[in-house]
Amino acid sequence: MELSRNHCSGDSFLDLFGGTGVVAEAASEHYRNILINDFLPSNHATYQAFFGKGRFSQKKIDKYILEFNMLNASDLEPNYFSESYGDRYFSMENAKKIGYIRDFIESGKDKITKREYWILITSLMYSADKIANTVGHYDAYFRTSNNRGTLLVKSISPKEDSKFDIYCEDSNKLARRVESDIVYIDPPYNSRQYSRFYHVLDNLVSWQKPELFGVAMKPEPVNMSDYSKVSAKKAFADLIDSLNCKHIIVSYNNTYNPKSSSSKNKITLEEIVEILSKKGKTISESKSHKHFNAGNTQFDDHKEYVFITQVQ
Residue 254 phi, psi (nearest 5): -90, 70
Same domain assignment for residues 208 and 294: no
Give per-residue pLDDT as tens, 160-186: 878 899 999 999 999 999 999 999 999
The total of structural domains in the chain comes to 2
Q: Which residue, 218, 240, 149, 174, is CA-closest to 36? A: 174
pLDDT of residue 262: 46
Dmax (CA) of the chain? 64
Same domain assignment for residues 110 and 202: yes
Measuring CA to CA, how many Å separate 231 from each of 30, 56, 168, 197?
35, 42, 21, 20
Same domain assignment for residues 111 and 135: yes
Give the residue-averaged pLDDT of 1-16: 88
Same domain assignment for residues 247 and 147: no
Give per-residue pLDDT as tens, 89-102: 999 999 999 999 99
pLDDT band for position 285 (cuts 50, 70, 90): confident
pLDDT band for position 281 (cuts 50, 70, 90): very high
pLDDT of residue 152: 98
Look at residues 203, 221, 239 and tell me which one is the last residue of a structural domain: 221
Give per-residue pLDDT as tens, 72-90: 999 999 999 999 999 999 9
Indicate whether 25 pLDDT > 80. Answer: yes
- Whole-model pTM: value is 0.88
Structural domain of residue 27, as residue ranges?
A: 1-52+159-191+229-312
